[in-house]
Amino acid sequence: MSTSSELAPIAFLDLAAQQRRMGEALRARIDAVLAHCRFVMGPEVVELEEKLATYAGAAHCVGVSSGTDALQIVMMAEGIGRGDAVFLPAFTYTATAEVPLVLGATPVFVDVDPATFQIDPASLRARIADVRRAGKLKPRAIVGVDLFGQPAPWAELRDIATENNLFLLDDCAQSFGGSYAGRKLGREATATTLSFFPSKPLGGYGDGGAILTDDAERAALYRSLRTHGEGGTRYEVLRTGMNGRLDTLQAAVLLAKLDFFEAELARREEIACAYDAGLRDVVTVPARVPGGVSAWAIYAILLPDTAARAALQERLKAAGVPSAIYYPLPLHRQPAYRDHHDGATLPVSDSLAERILALPIQPELTDAEVARVIAAVRG
Ligand SMILES: *Cc1c(COP(=O)(O)O)cnc(C)c1O
């Protein structure tokens, strides 16, 4: 006799199962790199850049070492630094705020929408006004983050950027494969940054990232910055850059995985719809961004309060169902960032951090496992 608690635990991310599914394609691509030995800037990097640009409909793609380095290269290219204000959501991964600080700029935290969790245009306008009123920082850039697989409200963000003469960057680390207003993400801002961290919808087997842009001059600058600011010849140094290249082996893994990507996105959508149908009468299921299609990096439900969330997490754990909290602390409350915060209240970010819970949504989940997750949440 077996009860649900005796079933094998469900995996939040199962990279071993992924390899059983695509192993042959992966090994062929990796073997090709081992054979040609061009481990840095090999032909797979160029091939991947071309395929990603085509996928997103962007004119240029520059492969880089991580999503964080992608953000840094884009901000370096704009000369963002000391005295500059960079507006970004308080409810996002740490890297979005870390990069402006590394460059000497100041992150200005913006609240998010309580239903979609995306940056809130009304809060963004208020925060730009706050910075202008205080008169200490120069408003320079907005980072719209496509959170959890869904797009940020790009039409509004573009209006605000234009009105205020601000550089607009899309941190699409979590959401490559998603779309907005009928087109794939990658062209909503002047530059779009991607991450290939293993848990992202298009994940490699190590660190990796890319930058998409339609601007040829910026693309050339990004290529220079990722290789120590090099000029036309290897030992001509035009500017201060970094070592920010994408490894050939990661590009090879990603090329193999790209062939499975659309089917994986479809499977994630199927799981999300099953969760919606099975859970919407017992918890708050994620609202869709108007005009958006999600890549479903994360499927997050909302509980009434922290106690209800803790109780549910315990019950899920007992049933072998993993869950995770993205994010337990909004960035304006992080020890590393709170001293850079001007003290504005960001009540939605605070409330989400107390009530949000992510359920497993990786494409390896079987229908039986999806049903187990639903049954466990319903208790
Ligand atoms: C993962 C992530 C990053 C950083 O990507 P890395 O490849 O891990 O450096 C940046 N922004 C957001 C929103 C992310 O989720």
Residue 270 — very low, low, confident or very high, per pLDDT cuts 50/70/90?
very high
- Residue 363: pLDDT band by 50, 70, 90 thresholds? very high
Active-site residue (options: 51, 136, 184, 200): 200
pLDDT in tens, 179-207: 999 999 999 999 999 999 999 999 999 99
Cα(143) to ligand 1 centroid in Å equals 13
d(CA 302, CA 178): 22
Instruction: Give the integer Cα–Cα distance in Å for 40 and 77.
Output: 23
For residue 3, what pLDDT is reported? 52
Same structural domain for residues 264 and 223?
Answer: no
The rounded Å distance from CA 357 to ligand 1 centre is 19
Assess whether 251 and 322 both reside in one domain. Answer: no
Count of all residues that appear for the chain in the document: 379
Distances (CA, A) of 144 to 5, 125, 152: 41, 13, 6
Residue 66 pLDDT class (50, 70, 90 cuts): very high
CB 80 within 8 A of CB 141: yes
Domain of 151: which CATH number?
3.40.640.10
Spacing, Cα 66 to ligand 1 middle (Å): 8
For ligand 1, the distance from its centroid to the CA atom of residue 194, given in whole angstroms, is 8
Say whether both 247 and 278 belong to one domain.
no
pLDDT at 304: 97
Shared domain check, 307 and 223: no
Tell me whether residue 136 is one of the annotated catalytic residues: no
362 and 349 belong to one structural domain: yes
Q: Are residues 124 and 200 in the same domain?
A: yes
Q: In terms of domains, do 83 and 194 share one?
A: yes
Q: Ligand 1: which residues within 6 Å by Cβ?
A: 66-68, 92-93, 95-96, 145, 171, 173-174, 195, 197, 207, 209
Q: Does 323 reside within a domain?
A: yes
Q: How high is the pLDDT of residue 211?
A: 99
Residue 6 domain-assigned? no
Within a domain: residue 269?
yes
CA atoms within 13 A on the CB side of 48: 30
Determine the structural domain holding residue 94 and report its residue range.
20-256
Does residue 2 have a pLDDT over 80? no
Residues 160 and 38 in one domain: yes
How do residues 232-257 score in pLDDT, each as one tens digit? 887 899 999 999 999 999 999 999 99
Residues 121 and 264 placed together within one structural domain of the fold: no
Residue closest via CA to ligand 1's atom 13 equals: 93
Q: Mean pLDDT, the chain, as a whole number?
A: 97
- Percent of the chain topping pLDDT 90: 97
pTM comes to 0.97
Q: Would you say residue 8 lies in a domain?
A: no
CATH of the domain at 291: 3.90.1150.10
Pocket test for ligand 1, best of 112, 171, 175 (most atoms within 8 A of CB): 171
Residues 249 and 278 in one domain: no
Taking only the tens place, the pLDDT of each residue in 271-311 is 999 999 999 999 999 999 999 999 999 999 999 999 999 99
The minimum-distance atom of ligand 1 relative to the CA of 297 is 15
- Pick the atom of ligand 1 nearest to 68's CA: 9
Residues 200 and 288 in one domain: no
Q: What is the pLDDT of residues 91-116, one digit of tens each?
A: 999 999 999 999 999 999 999 999 99
State in Å: Cα 364 to ligand 1 middle: 22
Decide if 12 is inside a domain: no
pLDDT at 362 over 50: yes
| H-type alpha helices, the chain | 15-36, 43-56, 67-77, 95-102, 121-134, 154-164, 216-226, 248-279, 306-318, 347-355, 367-378
The answer to whether residue 7 sits within a structural domain is no
Ligand 1 atom nearest to 95, measured from its CA: 10
Reported as a single tens digit per residue, the pLDDT across 320-343 is 999 999 999 999 999 999 999 999
* 3-class DSSP state of 145: strand
Domain count, the chain: 2
What is the model's pLDDT at position 1?
A: 43
Ligand 1 pocket, mutate which of 13, 64, 65, 68 (most atoms under 8 A from CB):
68
